[in-house]
Chain A
């Protein structure tokens, strides 16, 4: 089955700086890669996703890149704000969705 590894497990950034979270996956058949944000007391919410036929996707301050050859994908958050503080999960879908262990992001004011 699919194995998704996520790094780092914690990330502290100064407000206004960028944050980068990296994930690797094992199954070359995976073709869909979503990112979820989980705030305290809430369930994960989809923030951006990318399909295997696309290398990069951007939505305002959030971007995701995918390298299928290397089997890794990354989340980039620019101009971080305090409300970006949360736990972020990457996931990969082959025949089911497999999640990384999460990254706790803290944005310091």
Chain B
């Protein structure tokens, strides 16, 4: 384990379902991130939270809704997803989002939308 824990590891959901992804870190970091990883594409930044405040929403559709109740926990709430949303969703944390270094990634949640 890297210090960033993501659950569940795998998730299959229908297009009408509502589900949530969870990320937890106990590294003392203040920034947390959601990335989408699709095959043969660069990691796609979705959301950034720095000191519990959302600082970046990278034009993500509203069917993805992040929540950061404290610096250690990050959620991604999913509803009415499309098949093209199937991907590996990675959570990361770092000391401060204004710094580029010190990112620690979780192992990801493999999401399949059917």
| Interface residues of A, Cβ cutoff 8 Å to B | 4, 9, 31-32, 34, 36, 41-46, 49, 89, 93, 95-102
Contacts and interface: CB of A to CB of B under 8 A. Distances in A.
17 contacts: A4-B42, A31-B100, A32-B100, A34-B101, A34-B103, A41-B107, A42-B107, A43-B2, A43-B90, A43-B92, A49-B101, A96-B48, A96-B100, A97-B45, A98-B42, A101-B41, A102-B42
Interface of B: 2, 4, 40-43, 45, 48, 56, 90, 92, 97-98, 100-101, 103, 105-108
B10 to A, nearest CB: 10
Contacts of A89: 42-43
B36 to A, nearest CB: 11
B60 to A, nearest CB: 14
Given A4-B42, A99-B43, A101-B42, A32 B101 contact: yes
